[in-house]
Amino acid sequence: MMKATALEALRRFWWIAFLFALGGGILAALPEPATTQDATITYSATHTLLISSSNGSIYSDPVALNQLSLYATIGVVPERVGEALGIDPGTAASAISPSLNSTDGSLGITATATTKERAEELANTFATTLTSYMAELQENQRTDRLAALNARADRLEQDISDLEREAQANPDDRVVQAKLDALAREYSVVFEQQFGTSFDIEPTLILSTLAEAKGYPNASDTGLGAPKTRPTRAIFGLGVGAIVGAGVALLVSRLDRRIRSRAQAELLFGAPASVVIPDVGGAGTSLVVRPDRHDQLSDSYRTLRSVLTFAEAAHAEAEAPRERAAVVLVVSPGSGDGKTSIAANLAAALVEANRRTIAVNTDFRRPTLAGRLLDDDPVPLPFAFAQLSEVTPTQLLRRTPTPNLVLLDLSGMDAPPGSLARATSQALAPLARVADMIVVDSSPVGATAEVLELLPYADHVVVAIRLDHTLTGATQRSMQLLRSLTTGAMHLVVVGENIERSPYYEYGSPKGKKAKPGRRR
């Protein structure tokens, strides 16, 4: 569904953004601004371990140097620290941050806590636990290797003993002798490995304390990142509230089902508006087009008359002059869009231009055109619906107080609205030969089907859209229907646009009294 632009939405719902901005500014200014006393103080402590090796190189040990940080934060070490300090292992591990410096061979374990003593305790406990665990891990690895070497040596001794007996039995068998020599060499290698493992000749990674943990305060900026004075907080809140309010305004605009601006109406119609009927208030239900009245409202209907006159002149120049009166059909997507006011005042404006005009009502469910044109309630026609075929169309016309303006209205007859609309449409062609212009007030396009009887006769279709009233969905459906069925020229009339009413524009009041003329400029 097509909607107005974001800028148009903000123009219409500016008050939403304003209220959000005002509320944001007030809420931001109410709390007491944060001070340095409100900052959260934490403590950090770092225990530094020196990494060394029994062979002088920390890069040739069984334990990889880059695995020390993993051993410190995952597995056995956090579990033992948690058990020793009575805390959860995950909590303990999250409180420390190991940092390995391979250049100088040091490992720093930094702990963070809310108290100095707790930070020092965490760092020292992790360091001592890691040191003891690494020694234990390497000792277990040495014991496992020694056990594997002993088992291998026993197997080799048994194999050598078997081959020696076989060699004694076959002293000339060189294959057996070669196998015996190979096993002897393998046994020599295993023996050397046994000796090195048994007497700690293999390299071992050693962790030793270089510096005990010492806690120091670490001030956090929590709460201090926000503005520190009420005016700046209020300005910040105004900005945030305005942004949020603008988003809400856009959302409300997208959910809005009514046409709110001329630009939106033109977008749905597919062309610029021919005329804009202003919303000046106090117009009532009577005719506003009178010889003694010239203001923004009445002249807008005269402008519509000029638009139709120019359209007729263009048609006559492009094709040929009509040999009959042009039929103007006034429609709208829904009820209450102002089509009856347009039809009545357009007919009065045409009469001002010396056009013999017939105003035709086809909205038989809510007939109001006669009330606009006649001083008294209309008298029912002296014919029954069944007798319409026996009378001429001119006998159905009613005189109005306005010269050269007559009315065709069958709303008093006892017949369905569809039948009355069909009978009215059949009378248009004969009446077009005795008039200069015919203005037809129709029922809503989206509510009834009577308008379909009239579209084939329409030379001009005036589509009325009232701002803040007409629905966008109904307008889309109506435009699709009208464009598919009509061959006449279509004109958009936007009703209800807010225009400031100026007394300097008028030289005649509604009661016929001359108003004070404006100063010439």
Identity of the amino acid at 139: E
Residues 248, 267 share a domain: no
CA 117, 121, 122, 123 dihedral sign is positive
Residues 281, 132 share a domain: no
pLDDT band at residue 57 using 50, 70 and 90 as cut-offs:
low
Residues 476, 357 share a domain: yes
Averaged over 262-281, what is the pLDDT?
A: 89
pLDDT digits (tens, 9 = 90+) for 188-242: 887 777 676 666 555 678 888 989 999 888 865 554 455 567 788 788 888 888 8
Residues 486, 359 share a domain: yes
Provide the β-strand partners of residue 97: 110
CATH of the domain at 374: 3.40.50.300
Residues 274, 195 share a domain: no
Residues 399, 315 share a domain: yes
Residue 201 domain flag? yes
Extended strands (E) in 76-162: 96-101, 106-113
Average per-residue pLDDT in the chain? 83
Residue 14 domain flag? yes
Residue 57 domain flag? yes
Residue 89 domain flag? yes
More confident residue, 255 or 198: 255
pLDDT of residue 36: 53
Residues 285, 232 share a domain: no
pLDDT of residue 167: 80
Q: What is the secondary structure of 477-489 as a DSSP string? A: HHHHHHHHH--SE
Percent of the chain at pLDDT exceeding 70: 86
pLDDT of residue 512: 45
- Top mean pLDDT of 27-36, 178-187, 297-306 is at 297-306
On the question of pLDDT at 308 being above 80, the answer is: yes
Question: Structural domain tally of the chain?
Answer: 3
Q: Which of 16-20, 125-129, 229-233 has the lowest mean pLDDT?
A: 229-233
Averaged over 265-291, what is the pLDDT?
A: 84
pLDDT of residue 245: 83
Residues 32, 111 share a domain: no
Residues 93, 185 share a domain: yes
Q: What are phi and psi of 319, to 5 degrees?
A: -120, -90
On the question of pLDDT at 61 being above 60, the answer is: no
Residue 402 domain flag? yes
Residue ranges making up the domain that contains 357: 262-500
pLDDT of residue 357: 96
Instruction: Give the global pTM.
Output: 0.57
Q: What are phi and psi of 407, to 5 degrees?
A: -125, 135
Residues 29, 53 share a domain: no
Extended strands (E) in 302-404: 326-331, 357-361, 397-399
Residues 186, 314 share a domain: no
pLDDT digits (tens, 9 = 90+) for 277-286: 998 665 556 7
CATH of the domain at 89: 3.30.1890
Residue 84 domain flag? yes
Instruction: Determine the length of the chain.
Output: 521
Residue 521 domain flag? no
- Contact criterion met (CB below 8 Å) for 71 and 11: no
pLDDT band at residue 513 using 50, 70 and 90 as cut-offs:
very low
pLDDT of residue 517: 38
Q: Which of 97-106, 337-346, 353-362 has the lowest mean pLDDT?
A: 97-106
Residues 318, 227 share a domain: no
How far apart CA 97 and CA 78 sit, in angstroms, is 12
Residue 406 domain flag? yes
pLDDT digits (tens, 9 = 90+) for 154-181: 888 888 888 888 888 888 888 878 888 8
Strands 437-441 and 326-331: parallel
Strands 326-331 and 460-466: parallel
